A = this chain, B = another copy of it.
């Protein structure tokens, strides 16, 4: 039941209307792994950091039972740093700076004994690297992939090659429109499914998420949050909760994919309640299940 997670491990400097943090542990692989760790163990993380990566970052990952054999440490290098500022309504953010540092030459190497892992989550990195990971794996059963407008615009052909190798693509609504060239989200998912993934999940931020397969359309509600402190990592937490649930249950039926979307949404809702990864630090499986039930209450209605 282990999951291989590949992505960035970063130090984030974040400003929101409610406060700020400097050099907080972040990155897609960090959020995905932490979220997934509440469902399965161990998570095998593959990434790269510099010698400056703080001890408390390692401690956070280790406490979550995340195996760091695949985390390359370049002692004389610096960790990937990202800095951003959120606007008043938290739906928009400006990237203030991006210093790739050791991440610029990241060349994911999958430890030999992890190549048989059947569940793989590819965080939002260069599609060339995502493919390189899959080429090292020994016939994974479920491959979940995230991407973003930067790759859709800048490396479209590479991304299209990667999409042929994956099962589930997770992206947000504007990315779905950009990738498909189709403004209608339902049509957009149809176009994207012809590119490879049989399952498309479209995240809509404060409006929830859509799960689209060739036979199912499922609309997951957003959790009604009054207090969002920091949206950083919400999308990665979604991916982590989603793949964690699938790995735990080893069930790719449509009914179970729906549950996975709700567990993803639940982890995203916990993530944004605190700064950085703090929201994923001290959850319990029971609290997660309670939130799952809150999602059900939120969207449930009966016939007369």
Contact = CB atoms under 8 A, between A and B. Distances in A.
Interface in A249-304: 249, 255-256, 258-259, 262, 292-293, 296, 298-304
Interface stretch (A40-48, A132-140, A220-228): A220-228
Interface in A102-141: none
Contacts of A256: 304
Contacts of A303: 259, 292-293, 296
A293 to B, nearest CB: 7
A298 B207 contact: no
Interface string A225-258: 1101000000000000000000001000001101
A219 B221 contact: yes
A218 B301 contact: yes
A298 B186 CA distance: 13
A186 B296 contact: no
A208 interface: yes
A225 B219 CA distance: 12
B184 A225 contact: yes
Interface in A182-235: 183-187, 204, 206-208, 210, 212, 217-222, 224-226, 228
Given A293-B303, A303-B296, A183 B89 contact: yes
Contacts of A255: 301-302
Interface of A: 88-91, 177, 183-187, 204, 206-208, 210, 212, 217-222, 224-226, 228, 249, 255-256, 258-259, 262, 292-293, 296, 298-304
Given A218-B299, A221-B221, 19 more contacts: A88-B183, A89-B183, A89-B184, A184-B225, A204-B207, A207-B208, A208-B221, A210-B224, A218-B301, A219-B221, A219-B222, A219-B224, A256-B304, A259-B301, A259-B303, A292-B303, A296-B301, A296-B303, A300-B300
